[in-house]
């Protein structure tokens, strides 16, 4: 049976945050998520065109590409670790301090990549330093998006949490858009200029975003929800009340964790399938120029700037579940028609397919998820559970979905249906999670009980 009960009994009071403070929190969340996705996009593009010949020149082109992608993957390996470590710190010492540290780590590491000497200049130290900087990036990024969502949603007016939670998704859109535009312009340079200094420019420019975001983030007020939880914890310590361990809390939150993981997998898998695997697959199978696909992605990104805040506001009116379920069902129903449209080989039609995905379900599922997952968990270990969900979900779905799709396409050649099936199956995980998760719109975020347990008690 699906859990349709809204956990709201009476609307809790709005957090004691002034409008200027809320604006600063919103801007810092936007810029922080922009920086993370700029890094994600830039490294993906550089792995294919630059890092192989510059950092692995003694390998064949194929091995060099695999090596550079392996370095890229190393950042994902440490993300769950960074997420757990910083999540624990955020639940104990505050969201704000963690977000300052993670932003600094990502910014310094990204700029450092832009300053790296090549293999021709310092030999084996070049790829070694590239790995190190990628690990620093990944460790910091493991808590950035979840932390931005937690701080912003906990600081937002109760009836506008969906809108403010969607701002984090707007930041991811901005990062992808800026990185793609910069990279596209720089590839117009002569090959020698691009390989010698052009590729470094967007990595170096990321420091501007970092400094602006840090200037704002250092002035952001700590989450009122955390401040109240901190006071309760201090009072319990003074009264010598024994607190359950994180393992006990995790066992108690197992159902919430699994539901949230399903929601995350449904959202995150499509991002990596559409923006990652399908880009190469479409170019290879249709023989079209990659600019057709990237143009569709850029158009979809622009569309997302309009759709994300709209559907964030809609989730404040209708609830998180119906909006998330609507986009999930659209994604499932659109998968087969999308493949058939791609099969036409028409450049305009193919660009439109990518624009629909990138402007519709991809950013809006994440926009709704940003507030929904925050509201699903109790205040005591919210940050830890949020980072764990997001990073485990990224590894399982973002890492696994493209691999499964690639393996099926390799075995079953000249066919589009394996790609559609993988899209549908992973979207089904999100559908199940959303069907059984409780509605959380208007929930009191100061309570330490998970929404699942609170919903069961109300029933």
Q: What is the pLDDT of residues 109-133, one digit of tens each?
A: 989 999 999 888 998 888 888 888 9
∠ Cα 17 22 24 (to 5°): 130
Residue 244 has pLDDT above 50, yes or no: yes
The CA distance from 309 to 315, in Å, is 10
The rounded radius of gyration (Å) of the Cα atoms in the chain is 22
Q: What is the DSSP letter of 13?
A: P
Burial grade of 413 (CB within 10 A; 0-12, 13-18, 19 or more): exposed
Rounded to the nearest integer, the mean pLDDT of the chain is: 86
Q: Which of 103, 133, 82, 116 is nearest to 36 (CA)?
A: 103
Give the helix, strand, coil percentages of the chain, each rounded to 5. 80, 0, 20
Q: Coil, strand or helix: which one is 439?
A: strand
- More confidently predicted of 299 and 185: 299
Q: What is the pTM of this model?
A: 0.87
Residue 444 has pLDDT above 50, yes or no: yes
Residue 65 has pLDDT above 60, yes or no: no
Q: Are 151 and 220 contacting, i.e. CB atoms less than 8 angstroms apart?
A: yes
* pLDDT at residue 325, rounded to an integer: 97
Cα separations in angstroms, 57 against 123, 127, 191, 360, 398 = 10, 10, 16, 41, 29
Interval 291-322: pLDDT, tens:
788 889 889 999 999 999 999 999 999 999 99
Q: Phi and psi of 6, rounded to 5°?
A: -80, 125
DSSP 25-58: HHHHHHHHHHHHHHHHHHHHHHHHHTHHHHH-TT
Q: Phi and psi of 439, rounded to 5°?
A: -70, 140
Which residues partner with 439 through β-bridges? 6
pLDDT band of 375, cuts 50, 70, 90:
very high
């Amino acid at each position: 049976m699906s859990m349709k009960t809204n956990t709201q009994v009476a609307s809790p009071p709005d957090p004691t945050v002034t409008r200027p403070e809320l604006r600063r929190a919103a801007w810092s969340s936007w810029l922080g998520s922009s920086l993370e996705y700029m890094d994600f996009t830039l490294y993906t593009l550089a792995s294919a065109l630059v890092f192989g010949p510059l950092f692995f020149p003694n390998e064949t082109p194929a091995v060099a590409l695999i090596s550079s992608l392996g370095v890229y993957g190393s950042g994902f390996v440490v993300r769950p670790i960074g997420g757990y470590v910083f999540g624990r710190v955020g639940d104990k010492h505050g969201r704000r301090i963690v977000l300052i540290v993670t932003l600094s780590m990502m910014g310094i590491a990204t700029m450092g990549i832009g300053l790296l000497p090549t293999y021709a200049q310092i030999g084996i130290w070049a790829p070694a330093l590239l790995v190190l900087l990628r690990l620093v990036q990944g460790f910091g990024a493991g808590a950035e998006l979840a932390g931005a969502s937690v701080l912003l949603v906990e600081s937002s007016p109760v009836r506008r949490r969906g809108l403010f939670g969607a701002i984090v998704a707007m930041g991811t859109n901005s990062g992808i858009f800026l990185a793609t535009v910069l990279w596209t312009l720089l590839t117009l340079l002569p090959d020698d200029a691009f390989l010698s200094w052009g590729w470094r420019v967007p990595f170096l420019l990321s420091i501007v975003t970092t400094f602006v975001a840090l200037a704002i983030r250092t002035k952001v007020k700590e989450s009122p929800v955390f401040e109240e939880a901190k006071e309760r914890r201090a009072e319990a310590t003074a009264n010598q009340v024994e607190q359950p361990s994180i393992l006990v809390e995790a066992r108690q939150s197992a159902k919430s964790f699994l539901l949230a993981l399903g929601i995350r997998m449904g959202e995150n898998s499509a991002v990596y399938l559409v923006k990652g695997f399908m880009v190469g697959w479409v170019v290879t199978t249709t023989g079209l120029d990659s600019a057709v696909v990237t143009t569709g992605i850029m158009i979809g990104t622009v569309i997302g700037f309009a759709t994300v805040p709209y559907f964030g506001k809609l989730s404040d009116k209708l609830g998180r579940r119906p909006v998330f379920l609507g986009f999930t069902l659209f994604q499932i129903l659109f998968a087969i028609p999308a493949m058939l449209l791609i099969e036409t080989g028409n450049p305009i039609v193919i660009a439109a397919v990518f624009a629909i995905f990138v402007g519709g379900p991809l950013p809006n599922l994440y926009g709704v998820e940003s507030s929904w997952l925050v509201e699903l968990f109790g205040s005591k270990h919210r940050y830890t559970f949020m980072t764990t969900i997001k990073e485990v979900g990224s590894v399982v779905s973002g890492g696994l979905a493209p691999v499964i799709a690639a393996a099926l396409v390799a075995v079953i050649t000249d066919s589009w249906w394996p790609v559609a099936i993988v899209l549908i199956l992973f979207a089904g995980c999100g559908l199940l999670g959303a069907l059984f998760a409780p509605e959380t719109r208007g929930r009191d975020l100061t309570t330490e009980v998970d929404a699942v347990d609170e919903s069961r008690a109300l029933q």
